[in-house]
Amino acid sequence: MSVRRRLVIGNWKMNGSKAENQQLLSDLVKLQNAAAVNEAAELAVCAPFPYLQQVADILKDSVIGWGGQDASEHAKGAYTGEVSVGMLAEFGCAWAIVGHSERRAYHGESSDVVARKAAAAIAGGITPVVCVGETQAEREAGNTLQVISSQLEPVLALGAGAVRKMVLAYEPVWAIGTGLTASPEQAQEVHAHIRSLLAQAGAPEQRVLYGGSVKAANAASLFAKEDIDGALVGGASLVATDFQGIANA
């Protein structure tokens, strides 16, 4: 019986406004207070950088944590547009997503960069949520597990001490924002593979989240799988009752 505590993180991506955030977060806090599921599952939201102070103000007395959607590998300096781990920490972030497929695809982030970002987060006291996942073409070519292994290689090479301070997230690119969810069996196959790589790296008990069109309706069947420890939720995290529904699952 695993002792891994379930974790559900909302990734708002580039969505929200001050007014919408206020509504969403206050609804979430109310639902959390009513549901009292906080002992079962740990919850967090990863908001766009400009809203982190607002998120911190609203969530500070709640059980819901918060984080950024990316973090620079650099501590400071001439890196226009980037946000450092130290800055995130100043706004109370406990989490930083790194290596999301949208960063890899649209910003050319390599797995080496992702590993350096994860290392920077850990050094700054923030837990990186390291994302990996294959494209549709890679899956169809039968390369899913090799792709995951190679994405994780530089991350796991950081060593057991670092890996024990990470959360991993398996997000098949073809399931993100498409309404196509990996079946629990498809997801479990990859999660088991990630678990074996974690074990080889000396950190078998790290949490591995699933992401890709997770909804309240499909969350329970995913979470029933042995190596799925929670979810990284995009679209459904923008609707308080949907996000809470996933947390309840």
Site residues (vs ligand 13P, CB under 6 A)? 11, 100, 171, 176-177, 211-214, 232-236
List alpha helices for 164-248, DSSP H.
Answer: 184-200, 216-223, 240-248
If the CB atoms of residues 77 and 179 are measured against ligand 13P, the closer one turns out to be 179
Closest separation between CB of residue 100 and ligand 13P, Å? 6
Residue 171 a catalytic site member: yes
**Contact present, 227 and 192 (Cβ < 8 Å):** yes
Q: Given 134, 171, 191, 193, which residue is catalytic?
A: 171
Residue of closest CB approach to ligand 13P: 234
Closest distance of CB 95 from ligand 13P, Å: 12
CB of 213 to ligand 13P, least distance (A): 4
Residue for token pair 């695993």: 2
Closer of 11 and 21 to ligand 13P (Cβ): 11
Per DSSP, helices labelled H in 70-178 are 85-90, 101-107, 111-123, 136-140, 144-156, 160-163
- Closest listed residue to residue 162, CA positions, set 122, 191, 129: 122
Residue 41 dihedral angles phi and psi, to the nearest 5°:
-125, 145
Residue 173 C-beta: closest distance to ligand 13P, Å = 9
Count, residues in the chain: 249
Nearer to ligand 13P, 184 or 211 (CB): 211
Q: Tell me whether residue 67 or residue 212 sits nearer to ligand 13P (CB atom).
A: 212
- Three-state DSSP class for 39? coil
Q: 108: which residues sit within 8 A by CB, 6+ positions away?
A: none
Q: How far is the C-alpha of 106 from the C-alpha of 98, rounded, in Å?
A: 14
Structure tokens at 156: 């796991």
Q: How far is the CB of 165 from ligand 13P (least distance, A)?
A: 20
Specify the residue, 11 or 151, whose C-beta has the smaller distance to ligand 13P: 11
**Positive/negative CA dihedral, 116, 133, 206, 62:** positive
- Catalytic sites, residue numbers: 100, 171
